[in-house]
């Protein structure tokens, strides 16, 4: 499989009153042709920033791309503006989390579909068109386009696909709005789709329906997908490969099977343990907070919360991503380059153990000084 998108050493900073926030700290990411890649992490870890930088909607300022490359089929989108514009207009599409903020409340679904079909990728329109638009006759769906929309709505299992074109977003339920948003992204037949938490605002039964539909679309249109989510269960359902992200760094890359079978990075292990399961739920969670980006911890950004923290090793230099056998990567000094998976798995089993002792001791007043979670306090 040839890579369709390669992100290399992407660094994005944000200017704020508190100083320069070093949000993305060297992201490497590859999406192969026809592959679904999930970026998983907790809120504030930079997953949406990554998605927005790739599709070129990062607000600049306050955002600033300090270094890195985003190559789409070999073209660097960050340096070549023309290519970026073309790729964004013709080959990429994005689905957002909250349909209500991304659908206009004052236009019908049909008008918005017409906007996309008629104007997407066009940088100028003719005078005639402008006049026709101004007197309200211009922006309509042609009969053929109408058919196309109805066909797409039918594929997304929207009831009454014909009638929905004349309705406003407020008249639709949450699940239907999200389906419309997906239809808008897919109607132009993109090759590459970025989905930023598209099911987070929905109920589980609706989420499950949307995921099924999305999976069907991905397979049928042979889409390459970046799926951003905080929900590991959703990622497991949809993704081929998963990038676990923590505080602007990629902690671990593995295929979905590998990750759920044996997570390696202490953060992935803690994250997986923290998820309430039907079988059992007896997790301590992960102590501490996501670090402050203006003054991030030295070395591995996870070290202040890590149960396997090695003083003098973890807090010195940024951890490179070590490749283990089977093509998975993990950015943690517990492992070494080229280590085979069994050895790594036994290390993960023995070294990484989440306990609550520190916190309990502190609560009981046995330790002095700063509590363990104080260190990262913004």
Partner 1 sequence: MSEEPAMTTPVREQESALLEVRDLEKYYPITAGLFRRQVGSVRAVDGVSFDLYPGETFAIVGESGCGKTTLAKTVAALQEPTGGSIVFDGRSIGELSNRELKPVRRQVQVVYQDPASSLNPRKRIKAIVAEPLIVHDIGTKAERRERVDELLEQVDLPVEYKYRYPGGLSGGQQQRVAIARALALNPKLLVLDEPTSALDVSVQAKVIKLLERLQREYGLAYLIITHDLSLVKNFADRIGVMYLGKFMELASSDDLFDNPMNPYTEQLLSAIPIVDDEELKYKPAEISLKGEAPDPSSPPSGCSFHPRCHKVFDACSKIDPAFYDVESDHHVRCLLYDDDHRE
Subset of 229-258 contacting partner 1 (CB under 8 A): 230-234, 236-237
Q: What angle do CA 159, 165, 169 make, to 5 degrees?
A: 85
Binding mask 135-174 for partner 1 (x = CB under 8 A): ----------------------x---------------xx
Q: How far is the CB of 283 from partner 1 (least distance, A)?
A: 4
CB count in 10 Å sphere of residue 128: 9
Q: How far is the CB of 322 from partner 1 (least distance, A)?
A: 24
- Contact with partner 1 (CB under 8 A) among 6, 42, 98, 351: 42
* Overall size of the chain counted in residues: 378
> Is residue 345 within a helix (H) or strand (E), and if so which, with residue range?
helix 341-351
Written as one string, the DSSP assignment of 272-289 is HHHS--SS--------S-
Contact flag: residue 198 with partner 1 (CB under 8 A): no
Phi/psi at 251 (5° precision):
-85, -40
Q: How far is the CB of 29 from partner 1 (least distance, A)?
A: 22
Q: How far is the CB of 277 from partner 1 (least distance, A)?
A: 6
Contact flag: residue 349 with partner 1 (CB under 8 A): no
Q: Residues 165, 145: contact at Cβ < 8 Å?
A: no
The Cα 133–Cα 253 span in angstroms is 49
Nearest of 328, 337, 184 to residue 258 by alpha carbon: 328
Subset of 287-306 contacting partner 1 (CB under 8 A): 287, 289
**What are the residues whose beta carbons fall under 8 Å from the beta carbon of 5, sequence distance 6 or more?**
29, 30, 31, 54, 70, 71, 72, 192, 224, 226
The Cα 141–Cα 108 span in angstroms is 12
Q: How far is the CB of 377 from partner 1 (least distance, A)?
A: 8
Contact flag: residue 338 with partner 1 (CB under 8 A): no
What pairs with residue 179 in β-bridges? none
- Contact with partner 1 (CB under 8 A) among 97, 209, 258, 262: 209
Q: How far is the CB of 259 from partner 1 (least distance, A)?
A: 10
Contact flag: residue 311 with partner 1 (CB under 8 A): no
Subset of 12-41 contacting partner 1 (CB under 8 A): none
- Contact with partner 1 (CB under 8 A) among 83, 272, 341, 347: 272
DSSP state, residue 206: H
Q: Which residue ranges make up the site for partner 1 (CB under 8 A)?
A: 42-43, 157, 173-176, 203-209, 211, 230-234, 236-237, 260, 270-287, 289, 356, 359-360, 362-363, 371, 374, 378
């Amino acid at each position: 499989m040839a890579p369709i998108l390669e992100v290399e050493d992407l660094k994005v900073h944000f200017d704020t009153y508190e100083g320069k926030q070093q949000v993305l700290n060297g992201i490497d990411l590859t999406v192969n042709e026809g592959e679904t890649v999930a970026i998983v992490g907790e809120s504030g870890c930079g997953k949406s920033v990554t998605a927005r930088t790739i599709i070129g909607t990062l607000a600049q300022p306050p955002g600033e791309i300090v270094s890195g490359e985003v190559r789409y089929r070999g073209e660097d989108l960050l340096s070549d503006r023309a290519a970026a514009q073309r790729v964004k207009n013709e080959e990429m599409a994005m689905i957002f989390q909250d349909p209500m903020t991304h659908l206009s409340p004052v236009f019908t679904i049909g008008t918005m579909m017409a906007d996309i079909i008629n104007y997407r990728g066009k940088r100028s329109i003719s005078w005639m068109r402008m006049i026709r638009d101004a007197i309200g006759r211009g922006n309509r769906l042609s009969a053929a386009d109408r058919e196309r929309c109805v066909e797409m709505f039918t594929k997304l299992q929207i009831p009454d696909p014909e009638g929905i074109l004349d309705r406003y977003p407020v008249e639709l339920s949450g699940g239907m709005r999200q389906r419309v948003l997906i239809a808008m992204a897919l109607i132009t037949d993109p090759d590459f789709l970025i989905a930023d938490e598209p099911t987070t605002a929905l109920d589980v039964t609706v989420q499950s329906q949307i995921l099924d539909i999305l999976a069907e679309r991905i397979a049928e249109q042979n889409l390459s997908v970046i799926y951003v989510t905080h929900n590991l269960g959703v990622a497991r359902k949809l993704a081929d490969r998963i990038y676990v992200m923590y505080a602007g760094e990629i902690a671990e890359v593995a295929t979905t099977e590998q990750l759920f079978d044996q997570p390696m990075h202490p953060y992935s292990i803690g994250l997986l343990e923290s998820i309430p399961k039907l079988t059992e739920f007896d997790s301590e969670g992960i102590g501490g907070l996501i670090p402050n980006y203006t003054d991030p911890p030295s070395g591995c950004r996870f070290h202040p919360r890590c149960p396997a923290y090695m003083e003098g090793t973890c807090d010195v230099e940024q951890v490179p991503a070590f490749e283990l056998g089977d093509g998975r990567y993990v950015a943690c000094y517990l492992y070494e380059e080229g280590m085979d998976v069994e050895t790594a798995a036994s290390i993960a089993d023995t070294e990484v153990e989440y306990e609550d002792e520190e916190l309990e001791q502190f609560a009981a007043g046995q330790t002095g000084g700063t509590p363990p979670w104080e260190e990262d306090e913004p």
